[in-house]
Structure 1
Amino acid sequence: MTKLTLLCLPYSGASAMVYSRWRRQLPSWMQLQPVELPGRGARYDEPLQIDMRALARQLARELKPTLQTPYALFGHSLGALLACELAHAFRDLGAPEAVALFASGTAAPSMRSDYDRGFAEARSDEELIDQLRTFQGTSEEVLANQELMSLTLPVLRADFMMCGRFTPVERPLLNCPVHVLGGKEDRATTEQLIGWSKETLGSFSVDMMTGGHFFIHEHEARVIRTLKSHLEVHHRRHALSAAPAL
């Protein structure tokens, strides 16, 4: 039976390895494909990018030759914006559209003027560390580790600038369903999350969970159950369409 590929885009400052634990929890019909970004992980030697659409076009060109269908896109925070841009970049290259886009933990593309205020220019190390503290996902021990921070902060700085310089553009809407995940104590407002509904002609839903910005780690099992429940419908439909006629 054909598997459904889940392409996962990381959040600011992170490597795609943040999703590696998910493999053990996904059902057999789902295949995890974390997408590594330039400047981190196995792509550490590549230059960091601060242009969201240029990065999406680059990733689409890299992924399209081996793109397994059906596929869905998931991204958290920066990764959600990038997943949306990747969906458009795939379409521009003539690739099949995703069966679903999951946007987690961030304001919609059209509602970012307040959300990203002040991020367009490079932040100092101290400002970046203060920002990490507000996200409550990094221990003080890690923040005090100068060697680790020297590797993390340049990536984080570029990623924040990429978000801060992002501007929405007029273009045809996506056709796939858009499912949004939000943390009840995160800084993305309900209005900013519902704004994702403007990105598609397809169906739309919002799932709210307790917790702050990193609710996807606090409630990992629930996040995966949510993805599974939304994608099961598409998987069954695809399986039926692929079955030989009797």
Structure 2
Amino acid sequence: SLGALLAFELAHELQALGCPPPVALFACGTAAPTRREDYDGGKWREPKSDEVLIDELRTLQGTPEEVLANQELMSLTLPVLRADFLLCGRYVYRQRPPLRCPVHVLGGEDDKASEEQLLAWRQESVGDFSLEIFPGGHFFIHEHEARVLGVLSAALEPHRLSA
């Protein structure tokens, strides 16, 4: 989720500097920047306790229970995760000219980002748009790694340099 927002903001900064557009922007597992409020309802604007973060990780089903139960590991991980959640929760969309690159969005059918929130990425670029929905939740990329890599490869194939 945070990676999609960072990539989106980086693409806008590059465009503002007059750089060539990226070959493509891939956004995975998160609502479009204009739909962030709908996505989390402002839940992550303020820091949460370790317990709330661990409950969220458990809900997202991407972290093994053995990891969540390891206090030493969690004491190292939770500050970073807390910062990630705060960055996402405090993100503010800024209206700018649309990007000039294709936008490819991937989502999990059981993730909290709805199809409507994923489709809203379409308005962020004048380039091509695609949406791929996979079975599973937020971490569908792990469950369907081969298919996800296939989608990425297919989107990048036209830009491959000949040897």
Please confirm whether the aligned pair reaches a TM-score higher than 0.5, indicating the same fold.
yes
Runs of 5+ consecutive residues of structure 1 not aligned to the other structure: 1-76
Per the TM alignment, residue 220 of structure 1 is displaced from its structure 2 partner at its CA by: 0.9
Superposed CA RMSD: 1.3
The one-letter amino acid of 1:99's match is V
Question: 2:155 aligns to what?
Answer: 230
2:59 counterpart (113, 123, 134) = 134
Per the TM alignment, residue 209 of structure 1 is displaced from its structure 2 partner at its CA by: 0.7
Hey, what's the Cα distance between the residues in 1 that align with 2:32 and 2:152?
A: 19
2:72 counterpart (98, 122, 147) = 147
**Which digits, 9 at most, give the CA deviation of each residue in 1:18-38, with x for residues without a partner?**
xxxxxxxxxxxxxxxxxxxxx
2:74 is the counterpart of 1:165: no
The one-letter amino acid of 1:108's match is A
Q: Which runs of 4+ in 1 moved over 4 A?
A: none
Hey, what's the Cα distance between the residues in 2 that align with 1:114 and 1:178?
A: 21
2:94 is the counterpart of 1:176: no
**Higher RCO (C-alpha 8 Å, min separation 6):** 2
1:115 match: secondary structure = helix
2:110 counterpart (169, 175, 185) = 185
Per the TM alignment, residue 195 of structure 1 is displaced from its structure 2 partner at its CA by: 0.5
Hey, what's the Cα distance between the residues in 1 that align with 2:43 and 2:132?
A: 28
The TM-score, its normalising length taken from structure 1, stands at: 0.64
1:94 counterpart (18, 22, 29) = 18
Runs of 5+ consecutive residues of structure 2 not aligned to the other structure: none
Q: Count the aligned residue pairs.
A: 162
Q: Please state which structure has a larger fraction of its residues in helix.
A: 2
Larger radius of gyration: 1
Between 195-204 and 91-100, report the one with greater CA deviation. 91-100
Between 174-183 and 109-118, report the one with greater CA deviation. 109-118
